[in-house]
Amino acid sequence: MNSKYKKDFSSGVMFFSLGLFAFLISPVVISAKGMGNAGSARIFPQFIGVGLMVLSFLLILETFISYKKSKKEGGSEEEKVKREKGKENVVIIFAAMVLVYILLFDKLGYIITTIGVTTGALFLFRVKKAYYYLIVYGVDILVYFAFTKLLFVQLP
């Protein structure tokens, strides 16, 4: 098993353990004394713990499946390294886009920054179908109106 699969497997196990810890420790840490409904305060951390466990299990499962598939296919190690390098570049660029989004959110407002970053993300992931862009723009505008008109939360 090469280092990529070891990293993915160990990450999956680590985050599964963290999710299990969050699920089991939240009833102990969040006491029921003085609360009208103590269950409601415990639900969110337990939900996060269950979500973390499910996603970690899927990561472990996907790691095993891709490991088995790569053993069957073989392929040169150079091609695999090039593909992984390309994926790493995409992650770095996307992280930079999120950072720019955070920095420009207050200055330009929700609509402009969100549409700009989602357009950039779609370009980054090489999405070519126009209706995907329309769906993303529609969801951005829908979220804006949901916050401003339904929840009465003013977005910049």
Q: In angstroms, what CA-CA distances link 121 with 44, 52, 73, 91, 117? A: 29, 25, 31, 11, 6
Decide if 30 contacts 38 (C-beta within 8 A).
yes
Consecutive sets of 10 residues in the chain, 156 residues long: mean pLDDT of each? 79 90 84 59 82 92 86 63 70 90 91 93 90 93 90 82
Q: Please give the residue range of the domain that contains residue 49.
A: 1-74
Domain boundary among the residues 74, 100, 127 is at 74
Residues 48 and 101 in one domain: no
Residues 57 and 99 in one domain: no
Domain boundary among the residues 74, 94, 115 is at 74
Residues 60 and 80 in one domain: no
Task: Tell if the pTM clears 0.75, that is, is over it.
Answer: no
Residues 54 and 119 in one domain: no
